[in-house]
């Protein structure tokens, strides 16, 4: 809900030298300010976002993509998740990875059907090649046992936390210690990508969000 503020979001993105920044529950306005701060700091970013309405900031999901990766556009033909939005960004030149900024709704009373359909939507996004998926998935790896294919956690996407031995570190809520929280924020990728590193950032618990940021390092499989 924009709670950390653009300066703090941009500061962490600059600190980890992020090429892609996925921001669930973040308004387009704040995402644009974050991108402007990073661009002024020498890391030019493009912004894509999808809003279901302007009433609640939870109903917008944004993604920042480094201009070094080439120009991207939103692929509306892919649809989105129910209740809360997820978006698919594709490169205009067709060479870079498809980037899925994901935020399926939480499994709460009245939303169970939408939650299940959201997980199926994620699995469909991971059915192709050269895909990186990241965001607040409102689910743990245990929820995907029937949705993985060819060794993937969901579809053919491998989970970065599992691959690096960090899958038990909680990302939500920040009011709980990391080892007592739920690991529901993920970065995943198809086998085109080697997972080099992953960590949950525990030093920003006082920044206003109830989720901890996660940072993943991926590199293309040659």
Binning pLDDT at 50, 70 and 90, where does residue 109 land? very high
Closest CA to 84 of 107, 62, 104, 57: 104
Q: How far apart are alpha carbons 204 and 41 in whole angstroms?
A: 21
- What would you measure as the largest C-alpha separation in the chain, in angstroms? 45
pLDDT given at position 54:
77
Q: What is the pTM of this model?
A: 0.96
14 to each of 26, 117, 205, how far by Cα in Å? 18, 35, 18
Rounded Cα–Cα distance for residues 178 and 32 (Å): 30
CA–CA separation, 79 and 134 (whole Å): 16
CB-based contacts of 34: which residues, under 8 Å, 6+ apart? 6, 9, 10, 13, 21, 23, 45, 64
- 56 falls in which pLDDT band (50, 70, 90)? confident
> Taking 80 as the threshold, does the pLDDT of residue 63 lie above it?
yes
Euclidean distance between the first and final Cα of the chain, in Å? 39
Q: State which H helix or E strand residue 113 sits in.
A: helix 112-125
Q: What average pLDDT does range 138-160 have in this prediction?
A: 96
Closest CA to 74 of 101, 96, 55: 101
140/144 Cα distance (integer angstroms): 8
The confidence band for 32, taking pLDDT boundaries of 50, 70 and 90, is: very high
Q: What is the mean pLDDT of residues 117-138?
A: 97
pLDDT score at 1:
85
């Amino acid at each position: 809900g924009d709670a950390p503020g653009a300066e703090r979001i941009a500061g962490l993105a600059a600190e980890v030298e992020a090429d892609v920044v996925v921001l669930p529950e973040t308004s387009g306005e704040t995402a644009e300010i974050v991108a402007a701060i990073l661009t002024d700091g020498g890391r030019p970013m493009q912004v894509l976002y999808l809003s279901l309405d302007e009433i609640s900031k939870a109903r917008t999901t944004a993604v920042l993509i480094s201009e070094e990766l080439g120009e991207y556009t939103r692929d509306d033909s892919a649809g989105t998740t129910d209740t809360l939005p997820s978006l698919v960004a594709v490169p205009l030149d067709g060479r870079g990875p498809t980037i899925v900024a994901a935020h399926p709704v939480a499994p709460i009373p009245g939303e169970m059907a939408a939650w299940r359909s959201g997980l199926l939507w994620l699995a469909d996004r991971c059915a192709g090649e050269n895909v990186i998926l990241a965001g607040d998935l409102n689910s743990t790896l245990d929820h995907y046992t029937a949705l993985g294919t060819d060794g993937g956690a969901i579809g053919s996407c491998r989970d970065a936390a599992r691959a690096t031995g960090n899958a038990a570190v909680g990302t939500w809520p920040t009011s709980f210690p990391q080892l007592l929280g739920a690991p529901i924020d993920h970065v995943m990728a198809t086998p085109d990508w080697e997972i080099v590193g992953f960590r949950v950032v525990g030093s920003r618990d006082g920044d206003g969000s109830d989720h901890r940021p996660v940072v993943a390092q991926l590199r293309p499989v040659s």
